[in-house]
Structure 1
Amino acid sequence: MPRTSERERTLRTTRTALLRAFLLGRSLAWDGLNSDVLPLDSAQSNSSSQSSSLTSSDGWDTDSTSSSMDMSSSGAASSMIVSSDSAMDDFEFVIRILQQLESRRVLNERRTPRGMERLVDRLHRLQTSTAVGDAVFYRHLVRMKPDAFVTIVKLLEPHEMFAVKDPRRAGASVAEQAAVAFYWMGRYGNGGGVVDVAFVCGCAEGSVVKYVGSVCKVLYDMRDQTLCWASNEEKEIAKAWVAAQLECVDFSGGYSMVDGSLVPLAFKPGKKAYHREYFDRKSQYSLNIQLVVLPTTYRVIDYVVGYKGATQDSRAFAASDIMKRPGIYLEAGEFVWADGGYGLSEHTCGPYDHVVAAKSRDFRRFNYTVSKVRVRSEHAFGYLKGRFQCLRGLRQLVRDEVDHDRITTTIVGALVAHNLALRWDRVEERRTFIDLSMLSEEAAKAWEDLDQGNTDQTALEREAWTRRVNAYEARASATRDRLQSQSQTQRDQDRRLGAKAVREKLHKALFTAKDWEFEDTTEQSRLHDRTEAEYQRWLAKKAEAAANRRALRQQQARGRGRGRGQVRGRGRGRGGTGAAGAS
């Protein structure tokens, strides 16, 4: 069914109201006449008037003026005995009102003009102002510093999304659209509603939706250049920071950490979107996102966005490229810090379980040391959601897969903008490696004007990336046949053993660097998540169970042997007796 506009609905309501008023007036005029004037008695006239009124009201077509004229004419003809002239005058008056309403383009008075300054004009005024607090207010509006906003606008301008197709209708500038989009991203709750954002930004409600969608789509297209893996320079700085923070060189292999978070949805998803899959462990509807960040700059170097709130973190992270092709990103001795919810893997390392840590001080010391580095992933999520607070409660409705993809684009766009704005947040922010060959000339010039890149360093980065890809493909082809011959159980067992071996190596290196002594654990007991006393009891219990199984098998074997011997003896006796008797 086609949607009706507000104007059509208003006209329909007005027609119905005028018709009812006209029929009610005729009915009252009929009832007020004396019985001497009427040719019929009062009872018959009332029933006739009411029946004609109901018949006319039920058969009225509110969408057609011509049908209203016919119906009203028939109603006037039925009351011609009372006063035909007054009825026709009233009817013509109603028709004139309807014709005047239909001839008007606007039925209701327009809303009072906002009288608000456009956000982009306000930003320009704040940028050129020298008053105390204006710079802070600038960042409060668009959630980033002026230099970051201007550079991001330069990166957005060359995209075809903002190309002007008709010079006579150029539309809003890229700066205005980016300002509205970043203002919307920086709010949640009632302050993040479309009406409130439109009022503050000085634009229409529909423009807010359009600007946010366009800016997020362009930022989404920049994800490969911005949300890229760490460069060699970033790796070395992060490794040095981890080694200095923990006072252990062996821990420097974990220069990145992964963690997951939920992006709550402000509205319940529709039935076609399978809303039950969005319901998470916190009894809310949300999306699951996974981020791999650097501990020194909080820059996002890998991500997984799109899984629904009911998805477990380990399952979502398993879909990342770093877990599918770890050899391309991680070299020998490198791994990613993770928490206990991600399971065991030779490419990740996490703390001992809380139940295991409660058994011995040796486990708790290791967990405390790991938490000093891994907490940076929690800080990264707080930094991201503190900048773009729409991720604390996304006010976008999910009705189907199209809306789900739109929300995914919005989240990735926020990640890209966050990574770009990080460069100006602190003085010690380092240059982010970005492949400028994938960008347009204007975008590449914006980066070069900001920070002159080193061509030799860029060539080394590309060479290192190519070398890692070739080495990974060679190892993958060499181990493919071996993995195909193994069962899934064997693969899982090898994966767990490899992960525990990595953690045990780090555990011993930590205690050696700190000059600590293991109190009640050994290498074998730690590999089994037990203390030495508990491990010995477990071995004794295991040996006892094996001895019982062995004794049971021997007993069953002797029983089967006696049974077979008795059967053969009886057979030979009967056969021998029979043969002797026959002879």
Structure 2
Amino acid sequence: MDAASSSVLREPKSPLSLSAFKWSWLQCCQQTDRSQEGTVGGREGFNLLAPPQEPDDQVMFTHRPPIFGVMICSVRSHVDFKGGGKQLLLQPLLVPLFLQKGIKRPWSKKVGEHGVPFEEDPVDVEAQLIRGFFRRERVIRPRIDVFAYPNEYLKERYRFSKDSLVYLTRLLKPHVANVTNRGSALSTENILCIALRFFASGHFLYSVGDSEHVGKATVCRAVRSVCLALKQFLPTFVQFPGHKPLFIIKDEFHRVAGFPNVIGCIDGTHIPIKAPSINEGDYVNRKSVHSINVQVICEATQIITNVEAKWPGSVHDARIFHESSLCQAFQQGQYNGYLLGDRGYPCLPYLMTPYPEPEPGPQTRFNLAHSRTRAKVEMTIGILKSRFQCLRGLRVSPERACDIIVACVVLHNIATIRERATLLVLRKMAQRNTYRLYRPTETGDF
């Protein structure tokens, strides 16, 4: 007998009566397994298949109803347990179904042509419970047509407009589409919207599933597949120093507060997570909260150009930057410009920090321009966390938390780029309409 079954028979927990079972079946089993004895209720040498002294005799079982304890001892001599404990658990679950209809036990070698000699058709409560649990009817709830709702509804729940959802669907379809011929499979739009709803709300999985008419496991799979798909687009949408020419990036920062030659602002933010089971102390930050310390670098237009989401909360911001590949690139002279950081970073030839105790005059003006320009990264982090509320606290492992953070950064850049592109189009259309409205006539009048 293996350790699992022996522990079941060794430690009694609750008394259950054997008088609820048909004694005729126990007598039939006694003919096949008369020699099987076990330890039940702390009594050595007690034959499980022998009738008790009184009808209301109490026999102790640990984790299963009485029928399970009897079946474990009667079946073990006829089954070759090659697969460990699986067969030991599966076959007793099938026994009540055979007993209720009087079918022969297929694993027994001694019963032969005899069935189970019930005098009347019994009502097996355990069999009904097991059958009701394992044979649940599959219910497919109606799918939600997200494109039938207006843009205000979609932005509140998914943080994207209808056109942006169509763009994301086409972008992620090769990576998240279900390859199946079943008619009830989720479409790419449904998978994307389930993940976006989780990112935007940060609610529990079953709450997101109730909103999207799917189950909790379906929400978990959808979020995971979308995270892995967006992670592949990180080099495409998150590039340092940015997608625009370098002189345009410097000019945008210069127009903020007059600070010249700036190509990015750097800062760190903590994303709370649940306490991990491995190296739990490494993730406790200075506020005694388990978190992931994320390094973010952005442009003046709130577009994130670099992200490092792999360090525990106890690691300092300066070490994260020193260990990053971006720091090595600056040391090799690959970029012509400065980064602006707070006092938590060291002052380097390529990383400008404020004066700790500025004197009146140039140092005070330097700190003022520095703080006004560096505020862009704090604004960017605030927009990122307000857009995707799941970053307020993730109830997942650190590895999956890092994937979710990267996915939210990619979605943030996509949303920011599309919003600015839409604004530019609207601005050009407004200028064109204004020019047509006030275009001079042939007589020179407006």
- Matching residue of 1:481: none
Distance 1:232 1:162, change over 3 A: closer
8 Å CA contact 2:298–2:304 kept in 1: the answer is: yes
Q: Could you tell me which residue of structure 2 aligns to residue 54 of structure 1? A: 58
- The answer as to 2:393 corresponding to 1:407 is no
Shift in alpha-carbon separation, 1:114–1:307, aligned structure 2, 3 A:
same
Q: Does 1:261 align with 2:269?
A: yes
Q: Is the 8 A contact 1:60 1:67 kept in 2?
A: no
Deviations 1:122-142 (A, max 9, x none): x2111xxxxxxx322211111
List runs of 5+ in structure 1 lacking aligned partners: 4-14, 24-46, 71-90, 127-133, 399-403, 432-583
Cα distance, 1:375–1:97 mapped onto 2, change above 3 Å:
same
Q: CA deviation at 1:405?
A: 2.3
| Per-residue CA distance 1:70-117 (angstroms, 9 max, x = gap) | 9xxxxxxxxxxxxxxxxxxxx977954247527835479879x796x6
For residue 147 of structure 1, report the CA deviation from its aligned partner. Answer: 1.6
Contact 1:293–1:301 (8 Å) recurs in 2: yes
Number of residue equivalences: 344
Q: Residue 174 of structure 2: SS of its match in structure 1?
A: coil
Identity of aligned residues (%): 23
- 2:285 pairs with 1:280: yes
The Cα shift of 1:253 comes to 0.9
Query: CA 1:103–1:347 in 2, change beyond 3 Å: closer, same or farther?
Result: closer
Q: Which amino acid aligns with 2:354?
A: P
The 1:137–1:348 alpha-carbon spacing in structure 2 relative to 1, beyond 3 Å, is: same
- Asked if the contact 2:200/2:387 (under 8 Å) is kept, the reply is yes
Q: Distance in 1 between matches of 2:188 and 2:385?
A: 24
Compute the TM-score of the two structures, normalised by the length of structure 2. 0.67
Note if 1:349 corresponds to 2:356. Answer: no
State TM-score, norm by structure 1.
0.53
* Bigger helix fraction: 1
| Cα-Cα RMSD | 3.7
Q: Which residue, 127, 149, 152 being the options, matches 2:165?
A: 149
Query: Map of 1:571-582 to 2, 5 A cutoff?
Result: none
Higher RCO, 1 vs 2 (CA within 8 Å, ≥6 residues apart)? 1
1:467-492 deviations in Å (ceiling 9; x for gaps): xxxxxxxxxxxxxxxxxxxxxxxxxx
Checking the alignment, whether the CA contact within 8 Å between 2:296 and 2:307 is kept in structure 1 is: yes
Do 1:293 and 1:377's aligned partners in 2 also have CA atoms closer than 8 Å?
Answer: yes
1:290 aligned partner, one-letter code: Q
User: For residues 69 and 232 of structure 1, do their structure 2 counterparts lie closer, same or farther at Cα, with a shift above 3 Å needed?
Assistant: closer
Q: Secondary structure at the match of 1:426?
A: helix
Shift of 1:395: 2.2
- Corresponding position: 1:322 with 2:322: no
Question: Which position in structure 1 is the counterpart of 2:196?
Answer: 182
Matched residue type, 2:410:
V
Q: Does 2:376 correspond to 1:391?
A: no
Q: What's 1:224 paired with?
A: 235
- Secondary structure of the 1:63 match is helix
Structure 2 counterpart of 1:337: 340
Is contact 1:147-1:424 (8 Å) kept? Answer: no
Measured against aligned partners, the alpha-carbon deviations of 1:520-558 in whole angstroms (never above 9, x if no partner) come to xxxxxxxxxxxxxxxxxxxxxxxxxxxxxxxxxxxxxxx
Q: 1:114 to 1:236 in 2, by over 3 A?
A: same
Quote how far apart the aligned CAs of 1:48 are: 6.0
What is the distance in 2 between the residues matched to 1:289 and 1:63? Answer: 52
Q: Which residue of 1 aligns with 2:317?
A: 313
Q: Is the 8 A contact 2:178 2:187 kept in 1?
A: no
Alpha-carbon separation, structure 1, partners of 2:294 and 2:3: 38
Residue correspondence of structure 1 range 466-485 to structure 2 within 5 A: none
Larger CA Rg, structure 1 vs 2: 1
Task: Confirm whether residue 420 of structure 1 aligns to residue 425 of structure 2.
Answer: no
CA distance in 2, matches of 1:372, 1:343: 19
- Paired position in structure 2 for 1:215: 226
Q: 1:196 to 1:232 in 2, by over 3 A?
A: closer
Taking the aligned partners of 1:383 and 1:256, their CA distance within structure 2 comes to 17
Q: Quick check: 1:125 aligned with 2:148?
A: yes
Aligned to 1:104: 131
Rounded Cα–Cα distance in structure 1 between residues aligned with 2:283 and 2:163: 38
Q: Would you say the 8 A contact 1:101–1:107 is kept in 2? A: no
Deviations along 1:259-288, one digit per CA (max 9) or x if unpaired, are 1000011x2221xx2111111111211001
- Give, in whole Å, the separation in 2 of the partners of 1:430 and 1:335: 28
Partner of 1:236: 247
Relative to structure 1, the CA distance from residue 330 to residue 20 in structure 2 (aligned partners, 3 Å threshold; closer, same or farther) is farther
Kept in 2: contact 1:114–1:199 (CA 8 A): no
Offset of residue 213 of structure 1: 0.2
After superposition, the Cα gap between the structure-2 partners of 1:65 and 1:55, relative to the gap in structure 1 and judged at 3 Å, is closer
Larger deviation: 343-352 or 417-426?
A: 417-426
How far did 1:429 drift? 6.3
- Work out the CA distance in 1 between the residues paired with 2:305 and 2:343: 21
One-letter amino acid of the counterpart of residue 294, structure 2:
I
What is the 5 A alignment of 1:519-534?
none
Say if 2:340 and 2:353, in contact at 8 Å, map to a contact too. yes
Q: Partner letter of residue 201 of structure 1?
A: E
**1:158 equivalent among 174, 188, 194:** 174
Match of 2:148, as an amino acid?
Answer: R
CA displacement at 1:331 relative to structure 2 = 3.5
Which amino acid in the other structure matches residue 420 of structure 2? R
Alignment partner, residue 365 of structure 1: 365
Code of the aligned partner of 1:342: Y
Amino acid at match of 1:254: V
